[in-house]
Amino acid sequence: MGPGGRLGAATGDHMVIQSAHEVTQPSVRKYQGPWGVLTVSDVTLEPPMEKVRVEAWQRPRAQWFFGGYDPASLNTFLVEAGMLPIWVTALTSTVELVEGGVQVYPSDALILRMASRVRERVYRELSRHRNNGLYREPLWIPAADVAYWLDHRVLSADALGCLNDLIYPNAGFWLLSDVDVLMRCMTNDEERRVILRILLRHPSSQATVALAPGQDVAAALAYWRYPPSSTEDALRVRLVWESSSRSGLPVPLEELLPVMPRMVLNRYVVETEESFRDCHWTAMNFFNDRPVDFAASPERLRDYLVERYQRVDGAPLFGDVVILRNENDEVVHSFNYIAANKVFTKNGGDDDRPWTLMPMDEVIRMYSLFDPVEVHVFRRKDMMDVSAPAALNGTADVAVPAGP
């Protein structure tokens, strides 16, 4: 479906989606297993420019909430974190006693001049509280790609200098929490939109699947299976594999996916009418022809999971829901397993977050930046009789050169 396509009447939904701007990176890998041979090429997605809204990221001033602190204990914490005495005095002079803790208002100068090690320590504490926004869920750049993302030919020296002062390392990522400060470092909205679009980039993958040597269509279908009620999807996937077997051509991964992930992979929501389409909406609606609207209700989501799914202890299979829980037993993320450690995920509920294909371990790393998480796998109850197919000659992970 082309850019701007609409989920049709078959889904009973109303969601306009738009393709991302894709920048292919020179990395292609092959994975062989019961799914066949999965060939994956990395891409970086950029949101459509109309989704980059500068005003959504601007605030008149920064504010930090420290839950469970009083002025004295906050002063002690800041000193132990290594903050300079002059900044401790300046910050604690802004203290407001609020319900559950204290709130302070750091100046832009303080934020820009904090040492990276102090920033990491302070922001780790801020991440523990939901009302701290981007300090809890920062923007991130893969450390290996930082030079590729932050191209000096696109960004001014002033913008890069300010950004360099604000980012801080964690678990193989560079993190940014102070987007509002960064916006105030710039003098015009055009440059603000450019840097926001870069910061909202998201890694993903394109993939094809082919039969492995010695594998027949029946063996492939044993992995790419559907719920018993999804007879049309099962027939469609069978025909796709039979055509691939005759032609010898690989199958685009999208052709093996149910209707919702098939239509939205590597795309953005342009407009919505009802549902809040976050990671949980995505994971629970993977196999659904008519998406269920959970209305951002944790209770309704939990009831749906209990009613339709059962926890499994073995390795995840195609379509399984993987849930990440933190040490407070809060569900922080969910996604669907595809194959070869690749998952279908929407990392955030906002419309500037695309649906992507990513390595599962990288997604877990993203959601355990500040606290460890437990990984739980759930399978639809009507698919519990399906056991994991035997691997075909093990699983190969082979890097191949990119084409011209």
The residue among 247 and 169 whose pLDDT is bigger is 247
Query: Is residue 314 one of the residues assigned to a domain?
Result: yes
How much is the pLDDT for 53?
87
pLDDT digits (tens, 9 = 90+) for 236-256: 999 999 999 999 999 999 999
Number of domains in the chain: 2
314 and 354 both lie in a single domain: yes
- 272 with 383, same domain: the answer is yes
Are both 346 and 381 inside the same structural domain? yes
- Both 76 and 209 in one domain: the answer is no
329 — pLDDT class (breaks 50, 70, 90): confident
Q: Provide CB contacts within 8 A for 246, sequence distance 6+.
A: none
154 and 207 housed in the same domain:
no
Whole-number Å distance between alpha carbons of 261 and 254: 8
Domain boundary residue among 165, 199, 233? 199
In this prediction, residue 187 carries a pLDDT of 83
Instruction: State whether 18 and 120 are in the same domain.
Output: no
Residue 229 Ramachandran class (φ > 0 left, ψ -120 to 50 alpha, else beta): alpha
Rounded Cα–Cα distance for residues 171 and 365 (Å) = 7
Enumerate the β-bridge partners of residue 335. 322
Q: Cβ contacts of residue 160 below 8 Å, gap of 6+?
A: 150, 152
Helix (H, G, I), strand (E, B) or coil at 268: strand
- Mark whether 152 and 170 lie in a shared domain: yes
The CA-to-CA distance between both ends of the chain, in Å, stands at 27
Q: CA-CA distance, 157 to 383, in Å (whole number)?
A: 55
Range of the domain at 247: 9-52+203-387
Residue 362 CB neighbours (<10 A)? 15
* Residue 173 counted as domain residue: yes
Q: Which of 33-37, 167-171, 273-277 has the lowest mean pLDDT?
A: 273-277
Look-up of token digits 């559907």: 226
Distances (CA, A) of 253 to 246, 256, 386: 18, 6, 21
Say yes or no: 185 and 310 in one domain: no
Residue 388, pLDDT above cutoff 60: no
Is position 398 within any domain? no
Q: For residues 98 and 167, state if they share a domain.
A: yes
Picking from 96-100, 141-145, 193-197, 314-318, which range would have the lowest pLDDT averaged per residue?
141-145
Residue 144 shares a structural domain with residue 123: yes
Distances (CA, A) of 197 to 20, 160, 200: 11, 14, 5
Cα angle for residues 28, 33, 37 (degrees, 5° grid): 40
Residue where one domain finishes, among candidates 199, 220, 236:
199
When pLDDT is averaged across residues 25-42 and rounded to a whole number, the result is 89
Q: What pLDDT sits at residue 391?
A: 45
- The verdict on residue 295 lying in a domain is yes
Closest to 145 measured CA to CA, from 202, 78, 65: 202
pTM: 0.85
Confirm whether 397 is domain-assigned: no
DSSP 170-185: ETTEEEE--HHHHHHT
- Is residue 404 a part of any domain in this protein? no
Please give the average per-residue pLDDT across 322-345, as a whole number.
94
Residue 1 lies in a domain: no
The closest alpha carbon to 44, from 146, 136, 138, 192, belongs to: 146
Residue 194 located in a structural domain: yes
Q: Do 171 and 223 belong to one domain?
A: no
Q: Specify whether 364 is located in the same domain as 352.
A: yes
